[in-house]
Structure formats: C-alpha cells, structure tokens
Amino acid sequence: MKLERLASFGVSMLGVVLVGLATPGWAHHSTTMFEPNKTIAIEGTITEVAWGNPHSVFFVDAKPVGQEAPIKNWTVEAPNPRQMTSMGWQQDTLKAGDKVKVTGFQRKDGKAQMLFIELTDEKGHRFATKRGDYAGD
C-alpha cells in the first residue's frame, strides 16, 4: 500500500513539475492579431516608453503618413530590451516628446496598435528589425 501511494505521489509531482516548466511558454502571446502582409507608417510624438519583457512598448500620438486622419495614441509593440540593445538602442534612445516615424504590422481589427518593424527619429537615425522578426538589421 505504501509503495502505491509513493508511486502515485511521484507521478503527481512529475505532473506539477511539467506544468510548471511549460507555463512560461504560455505566458508569451502570439502575434496573430497583426496582419503580416499589411504594414502601416505613422508619424507623431512619443508619449511614453516602457522597456520590459516579453516586449518593450512605446506609445505615439500619431496619424498614418499621408492621411487626413485624427491623431490617436498608437501602441507600438517592440522587441525585448536585450534584442533592442543588439539593434543599437539604448534605454534613452526614445523619450517622451521625440518626433518619430514608425512602420509596423497593423492589427487586423484596425485598432491603433502595431508590431514594430522600423523607426526613424527626427535626427534621421533608423532602427529596424528584419520585417518585424526581431532579429535586428
């Protein structure tokens, strides 16, 4: 009887460990909400920058380039800080008030959110990924 309970306990513990190891994979969301074949370029002013994992995010009061549209606060989902640093970014590369042009994959539902591909600041510095795959230029 003791052997059966011990074996049952061991199997239960193994299940807990396996679920615990798999959980970080579930924490990262998919990019399926973005249209992989439709890019949009916006121009505007940075309002906030948040470096973090699994993605850094910056917010831009902007409108699409070449369109007469109202200014919206766009959310730009960018790579994590390690990847951004390898692309030439520093934590102070962007600051609130900076003028930028950003290109990215727009959300399928049309909300003011994009997956980062490229940013050009007002000094002409360009930061980019390879078609949004976060691999750097």
Spatial distance between the Cα atoms of 104 and 26, rounded to a whole number of angstroms: 24
Q: What are phi and psi of 96, to 5 degrees?
A: -55, 135
**Residue 137, pLDDT score:** 33
Spatial distance between the Cα atoms of 24 and 18, rounded to a whole number of angstroms: 11
**Residue 105, pLDDT score:** 95
pLDDT in 10s for each residue of the chain, 137 residues = 565 655 554 545 544 444 444 444 444 556 789 998 889 999 999 999 999 988 899 999 999 999 999 999 999 999 999 988 888 888 889 999 999 999 999 999 999 999 999 999 999 989 888 644 433 33
**Residue 129, pLDDT score:** 81
Domain made up of 34-128: CATH architecture: Beta Barrel (2.40)
**Residue 7, pLDDT score:** 53
**Residue 20, pLDDT score:** 45
**Residue 9, pLDDT score:** 47
The encoded tokens of residue 55 equal 């993605």
- Residue 60, strand partner residues: 46, 74
Residue type, 114: M
What residues have CB less than 8 Å from 103, skipping those under 6 apart? 39, 40, 41, 42, 117, 118, 119
**Residue 68, pLDDT score:** 92
Place of tokens 């948040």: 50
**Residue 88, pLDDT score:** 85
Enumerate the domain spans of the chain.
34-128
- Count other Cβ atoms within 10 Å, centred on residue 7: 10
The encoded tokens of residue 50 equal 């948040």
3-state secondary structure of 58: strand
Spatial distance between the Cα atoms of 34 and 129, rounded to a whole number of angstroms: 16
Nearest of 78, 72, 84 to residue 114 by alpha carbon: 78
**Residue 8, pLDDT score:** 59
